[in-house]
């Protein structure tokens, strides 16, 4: 955690921050923990507090959601978070400012997760310039598969921002190879055919699928969609370089309570997950 | 007619902006369609269904009284309202259910706005004995209650969607989520020339039968090509269906009519081509109604089928190329045109199609005597009569704004309607 809170004397180039976070976790015998908070949910100040609570709880990577009106890859939990955020008037520019505010206080790598249309509306190059300025290390854009990402990916790379590709249980070996060849930062393996959201059970063939991808991938592979309990995190930690927890955190933010109470709740929960990522 | 490039692009539009989970399924669908559309056995079976079941070819009928009323321009109506289930939608769903069966899919899902696509999907699924879930915005479930019941009678499950604007776009989000989750055994029948590749090309290929027939019929009937072809544009399936046969004839004006709702300047409309900007929604890049921050705007139209903030990518491309002429009709103009066609030709069109009729009258007046116009009457109005009744009653009760919207058309019928009489007497 001390590494995460190191002051920002010399900002590292983006892939370095990501690579270092995974390396540090690996040296400690842990899977990296990636935590998701929707930007502006329910307001910007709260989401900043929640992101910092994740850092205090031991998150190795932060995902900050950029809200979109029509989030086709998300389940009800994150869709409602986006609705709350948009109802509060959150803009793309504010999400970038939120990332910058987190960056001022922490060197934990930041990935923005959002849909492509708001990024296009902001202006591709302007958006990527501002990501670099804000200290954003990576972008996760679930509706931008490699086929459509060529120019956007190139522009991002030129600015030191990694465009993260997703792989799914349905991905063919050819698509897996293409994603591995184009991979920057890390690869995001979607654990189930489905949308985001906490699930009781994960598929039985997860281990061999992840092993195959990790054998091929030049970058760390994280697993996401459906992880909500420390027990799941413990079971999955040996299988992947990192674990993503989203909806379960969003649910804890949505529960009633003061900002301070929510922050403590989130920090405590993230700490319990982080403990469970130890592989020993 | 051009095929899109290998990745499904029409110029800068189209493509596949979808979660990774769906890409392999879209690859599978693309390959299956490329094979099926060249397979004479598949085509023969589809042709048989279209002829013996859907009722094709539909007539291209002369609207004699309308022609006289607009000043002598010949107006021909392509009668898609006479298709089984009451709209052109069945051309697409029969083809896609055949394709789903060919791919071994066990379950059908669809989204619907006005309900016509839902009814057509439920019909095709029933014909082939496949279970079918239809996603429908909760608002549309309310305003299209009759079609909801029809789908249920046909054995489909109608799933109301409460998210967002509770209309077609939200139904489409939910259908995509279902498909992401059940992609192994489920085929998603998209109802318009929208969505990720291959849907825009697939649905157009299945709907081009409208234009192919119309082209043959107009040659037989009038001995020449029309001066203009007019069709309403929501997602654009009936428009692309009829336009495709004429795209290569530069002398034929292609007129796409969008929903102007309460008026283009009010922000309460469905005119994505006229007032939108290029963006990404539901898996493809196209003109979209959106705010400055890229959030999708809510569309509005009196017609649930035109109440969609996007439009098919090929139409966006045709617009940029200058091949498409854009017109709009407001809610009021569509209501007037519906009554007008009912009284002059004895045809109650769907509210969607009434938008095309409203614009066609203007086009025909301008062309005058010697002109020749085809209007695609994409569906029949039975589903809309209750809503039309309510809208007319409201309009009669509140005459003020109506006058500002311009004079209603004067039907050539001698007998004025009760509502018109009431309005005039105020």
Residues with Cβ < 8 Å from A62, sequence gap 6 or more?
A34, A35, A37, A51, A54, A55, A102, A106, A108, A109, A110, A111
The answer to whether residue A121 neighbours chain B at the CB level (below 8 Å) is: yes
Is A192 or B410 the better-scoring residue by pLDDT?
Answer: A192
Q: Does the beta-carbon distance from B293 to A147 stay under 8 Å?
A: no
Question: What pLDDT shows up at residue B304?
Answer: 86
Question: Residue B208 and residue B37: Cα distance in Å, rounded?
Answer: 13
The arithmetic mean of pLDDT across residues A89-101, rounded, is 98
Give percent of chain A above pLDDT 70.
95
Minimum-distance CB partner of A70 among B19, B21, B281: B281
Confidence of residue B1 (pLDDT cuts 50, 70, 90): low
Question: What pLDDT shows up at residue B415?
Answer: 43
Confidence of residue A33 (pLDDT cuts 50, 70, 90): very high
Chain A residues in contact with B24 by the CB 8 A cut-off are: 170-172, 175
Q: At what angle do helices A247-254 and A259-276 cross, to 10 degrees?
A: 150
Q: Does the beta-carbon distance from A70 to B169 stay under 8 Å?
A: yes
Report the SS3 class of residue A24: helix
Confidence of residue B426 (pLDDT cuts 50, 70, 90): very low
Residues with Cβ < 8 Å from B277, sequence gap 6 or more?
A121, B287, B288, B290
The arithmetic mean of pLDDT across residues B159-180, rounded, is 90
Distance from CA of A80 to the nearest CA of B (A): 9
The arithmetic mean of pLDDT across residues B176-187, rounded, is 93
Helices (H), A58-166: 76-87, 92-105, 116-122, 124-134, 150-158
Question: What pLDDT shows up at residue B339?
Answer: 98
The arithmetic mean of pLDDT across residues A121-134, rounded, is 98
DSSP letters for B348-394: -B-HHHHHHHHHHHHHHHHH-TT-EEEEEE-BBSGGGHHHHHHHHHH
Half-sphere exposure of B301 (CA within 13 A, CB side): 36
What's the length of chain B?
Answer: 426
Model confidence over B271-280: pLDDT tens digits? Answer: 999 999 999 9
Give residues 129 to 158 of A whose Cβ lies within 8 Å of B.
142-145, 147-148
Question: Residue B423 and residue B28: Cα distance in Å, rounded?
Answer: 57
The arithmetic mean of pLDDT across residues B193-206, rounded, is 97
Question: Residue A114 and residue A78: Cα distance in Å, rounded?
Answer: 11
Task: Decide if B62 contacts B75 (C-beta within 8 A).
Answer: yes
Chain A residues in contact with B18 by the CB 8 A cut-off are: 72, 143, 145
Tell me whether residue A264 is one of the annotated catalytic residues.
Answer: no
Give residues 24 to 53 of B whose Cβ lies within 8 Å of A.
24-25, 27
Q: Does the beta-carbon distance from A121 to B290 stay under 8 Å?
A: yes
Task: Decide if B114 contacts B304 (C-beta within 8 A).
Answer: yes
Minimum-distance CB partner of A170 among B25, B170, B293: B25
Residue of B nearest to A74 (CA): B177
What ipTM was assigned to the predicted interfaces of this complex? Answer: 0.92
Closest CA to B312 of B197, B159, B154, B397: B197
Task: Decide if B76 contacts B105 (C-beta within 8 A).
Answer: no
Entry pTM: 0.92
The arithmetic mean of pLDDT across residues A103-111, rounded, is 98
Question: What pLDDT shows up at residue B327?
Answer: 98
Question: Residue B149 and residue B246: Cα distance in Å, rounded?
Answer: 37
Helices (H), B103-166: 116-128, 138-143, 145-153
Distance from CA of A250 to the nearest CA of B (A): 18
Decide if pLDDT at B410 tops 70.
Answer: no
Query: Catalytic: which of B111, B174, B213, B333?
Result: B111
- Give the count of beta carbons closer than 10 Å to the beta carbon of residue A83: 17
Query: Catalytic: which of A49, A74, A137, A267?
Result: A74
Among A30-34, A156-160, B162-166, B400-404, the minimum mean pLDDT is found in B400-404
Give residues 171 to 200 of A whose Cβ lies within 8 Å of B.
171-172, 175, 190, 193-195
Decide if pLDDT at B406 tops 50.
Answer: no
Beta bridge partners of B110: B134, B189
Give percent of chain B above pLDDT 70.
93
A-B contacts at Cβ under 8 angstroms:
117
The answer to whether residue B283 neighbours chain A at the CB level (below 8 Å) is: yes
Rg, Å, chain A Cα set: 17
The arithmetic mean of pLDDT across residues B353-377, rounded, is 98
Decide if pLDDT at B400 tops 80.
Answer: no
Task: Decide if B23 contacts B16 (C-beta within 8 A).
Answer: yes
Token couple for B143 = 């305003």
Distance from CA of B284 to the nearest CA of A (A): 10
Tell me whether residue B237 is one of the annotated catalytic residues.
Answer: no
Sheet holding A166-167, edge to edge: A162-164, A138-140, A110-113, A61-65, A32-38, A242-245, A221-224, A187-190, A166-167
Decide if pLDDT at A116 tops 60.
Answer: yes
Model confidence over B212-263: pLDDT tens digits? Answer: 999 999 999 999 999 999 999 999 999 999 999 999 999 999 999 999 999 9
Helices and strands (H, E) in chain A, number of each type: 12, 9
Minimum-distance CB partner of A117 among B176, B183, B280: B280
The arithmetic mean of pLDDT across residues B365-372, rounded, is 97
Question: What pLDDT shows up at residue B399?
Answer: 62
Provide the mean pLDDT of chain B: 92
**Can you tell me which residue has the tokens 């509140």?**
B398
Which one of B21, B171, B281, B283 makes the best mutation probe of the A interface by having the most chain A beta carbons within 10 Å? B21
The arithmetic mean of pLDDT across residues B3-14, rounded, is 93
Among A184-193, A234-243, B1-10, B312-321, the minimum mean pLDDT is found in B1-10
Question: What pLDDT shows up at residue B422?
Answer: 38
Please list, residue by residue across B320-357, b when 16 or more beta carbons sit within 10 angstroms of its beta carbon and e when fewer do: beebbbbbbbbbbbbbbbbbbbbbbbebbbbbbbbbbb
Give percent of chain A above pLDDT 90.
86
Minimum-distance CB partner of B295 among A118, A165, A170: A118
Question: Residue B80 and residue B56: Cα distance in Å, rounded?
Answer: 9
Decide if pLDDT at B333 tops 90.
Answer: yes
Residues with Cβ < 8 Å from A102, sequence gap 6 or more?
A48, A51, A52, A55, A62, A64, A108, A110, A135
Question: What pLDDT shows up at residue B34?
Answer: 96
Question: What pLDDT shows up at residue A203?
Answer: 83
Residues with Cβ < 8 Å from B58, sequence gap 6 or more?
B78, B79, B80, B82, B83, B210, B213
Residues with Cβ < 8 Å from A34, sequence gap 6 or more?
A59, A60, A61, A62, A63, A111, A222, A224, A242, A243, A244, A245
Sheet holding B132-137, edge to edge: B157-161, B132-137, B107-112, B186-189
Distance from CA of A9 to the nearest CA of B (A): 33
Decide if pLDDT at A13 tops 60.
Answer: no
Query: Catalytic: which of A30, A49, A63, A130?
Result: A63
The arithmetic mean of pLDDT across residues B385-394, rounded, is 93
The answer to whether residue A122 neighbours chain B at the CB level (below 8 Å) is: yes
The arithmetic mean of pLDDT across residues A31-36, rounded, is 98
Decide if pLDDT at B185 tops 50.
Answer: yes
* DSSP label at residue B52: I
Confidence of residue A204 (pLDDT cuts 50, 70, 90): confident
Question: Residue A66 and residue A77: Cα distance in Å, rounded?
Answer: 14
Model confidence over B101-158: pLDDT tens digits? Answer: 999 999 999 999 888 999 999 999 999 999 999 999 998 898 888 899 999 999 999 9
Question: What pLDDT shows up at residue B425?
Answer: 37
Among A32-36, A245-249, B397-401, the minimum mean pLDDT is found in B397-401
The arithmetic mean of pLDDT across residues B300-324, rounded, is 95
Question: Residue A140 and residue A164: Cα distance in Å, rounded?
Answer: 5
Which one of B162, B188, B280 makes the best mutation probe of the A interface by having the most chain A beta carbons within 10 Å? B280
Token couple for B125 = 């699924």
Minimum-distance CB partner of B163 among A79, A166, A169: A79
Question: What pLDDT shows up at residue B360?
Answer: 98
The arithmetic mean of pLDDT across residues B304-330, rounded, is 96
Decide if pLDDT at B179 tops 90.
Answer: yes
Decide if pLDDT at A14 tops 70.
Answer: no
Question: What pLDDT shows up at residue A272?
Answer: 98
Which one of B20, B27, B287 makes the best mutation probe of the A interface by having the most chain A beta carbons within 10 Å? B20
Which one of A72, A89, A179 makes the best mutation probe of the B interface by having the most chain B beta carbons within 10 Å? A72
């Amino acid at each position: 955690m001390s590494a995460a809170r190191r002051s920002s004397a010399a900002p590292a180039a983006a892939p370095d921050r990501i690579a270092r976070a995974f390396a540090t976790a690996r040296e400690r015998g842990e899977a990296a923990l990636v935590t998701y908070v929707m930007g502006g949910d329910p307001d910007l100040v709260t989401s900043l507090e929640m992101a910092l609570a994740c850092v205090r709880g031991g998150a190795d990577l932060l995902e900050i959601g950029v809200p979109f009106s029509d989030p086709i890859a998300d389940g009800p939990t994150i869709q409602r978070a986006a609705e709350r955020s948009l109802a509060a008037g959150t803009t793309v520019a504010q999400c970038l400012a939120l990332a910058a505010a987190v960056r001022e206080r922490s060197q934990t790598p930041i990935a923005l997760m959002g849909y492509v249309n708001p990024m296009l509306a902001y202006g591709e190059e302007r958006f990527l310039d501002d990501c670099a300025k804000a200290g954003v290390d990576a972008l996760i854009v679930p509706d931008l598969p490699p086929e459509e990402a060529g120019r956007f990916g190139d522009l991002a790379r030129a600015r030191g921002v990694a465009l993260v590709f997703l792989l799914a249980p349905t991905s063919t070996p050819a698509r897996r190879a293409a994603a591995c060849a184009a991979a920057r930062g890390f690869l995001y393996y979607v654990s189930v055919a489905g949308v985001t959201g906490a699930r009781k059970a994960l598929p039985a063939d997860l281990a061999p699928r992840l092993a195959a991808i990790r054998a091929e991938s030049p970058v760390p592979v994280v697993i996401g969609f459906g992880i909500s309990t420390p027990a799941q995190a413990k079971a999955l930690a040996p299988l992947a370089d990192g674990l993503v927890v989203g909806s379960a955190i969003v649910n804890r933010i949505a529960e009633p309570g003061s900002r301070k109470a929510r922050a403590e709740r989130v920090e405590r929960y993230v700490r319990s997950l982080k403990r469970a990522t130890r592989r020993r | 007619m051009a095929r899109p490039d290998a990745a499904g692009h029409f110029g800068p539009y189209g493509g596949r902006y979808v979660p990774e989970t769906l890409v392999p399924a879209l690859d599978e669908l693309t390959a299956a369609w490329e094979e099926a559309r060249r397979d004479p056995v598949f085509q023969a079976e589809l042709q048989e269904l279209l002829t013996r079941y859907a009722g094709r070819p539909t007539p291209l009928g002369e609207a004699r009284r309308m022609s006289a009323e607009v000043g002598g321009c010949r107006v021909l109506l392509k009668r898609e309202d006479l298709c089984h289930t009451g709209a052109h939608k069945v051309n697409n769903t029969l083809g896609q259910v055949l394709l789903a069966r060919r791919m071994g899919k066990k379950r059908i899902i669809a989204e619907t706005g006005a309900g016509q696509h839902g009814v057509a999907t439920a019909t095709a699924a029933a014909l082939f004995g496949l279970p079918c879930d239809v996603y429908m915005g909760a608002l549309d479930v309310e305003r299209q209650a009759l079609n909801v019941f029809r789908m249920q009678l046909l054995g489909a499950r109608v799933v109301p969607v409460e998210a967002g604007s509770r209309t077609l776009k939200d139904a489409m989000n939910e259908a995509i989520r279902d498909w992401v989750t059940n992609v192994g055994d489920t085929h998603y029948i998209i109802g318009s020339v929208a969505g990720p590749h291959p849907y825009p090309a697939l649905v157009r290929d299945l709907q081009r039968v409208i234009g192919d027939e119309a082209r043959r019929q107009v040659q037989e009937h009038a001995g020449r090509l029309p001066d203009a072809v007019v069709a309403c544009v929501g997602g654009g399936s009936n428009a692309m269906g009829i336009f495709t046969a004429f795209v290569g004839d530069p002398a034929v004006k292609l007129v796409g009519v969008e929903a102007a709702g309460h008026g283009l300047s009010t922000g309460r409309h469905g005119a994505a081509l006229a007032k939108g900007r290029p963006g990404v929604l539901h898996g493809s890049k196209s003109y979209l109604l959106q705010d400055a921050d890229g959030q999708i705007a809510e569309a509005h139209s009196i017609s649930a089928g035109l109440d969609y903030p996007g439009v098919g990518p090929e139409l966006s491309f045709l617009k940029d190329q200058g091949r498409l002429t854009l017109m709009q009709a407001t809610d009021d103009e569509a209501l007037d045109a519906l009554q007008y066609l009912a009284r002059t030709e004895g045809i109650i069109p769907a509210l969607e199609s009434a938008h095309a009729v409203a614009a066609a009258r203007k086009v025909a007046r301008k062309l005058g005597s010697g002109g020749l116009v085809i209007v695609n009457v994409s569906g029949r109005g039975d589903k809309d009569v209750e809503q039309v009744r309510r809208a007319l009653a409201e309009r009669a009760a509140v005459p003020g704004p109506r006058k500002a919207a311009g004079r209603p058309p004067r039907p050539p019928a001698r007998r004025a309607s009760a509502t018109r009489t009431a309005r005039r007497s105020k």
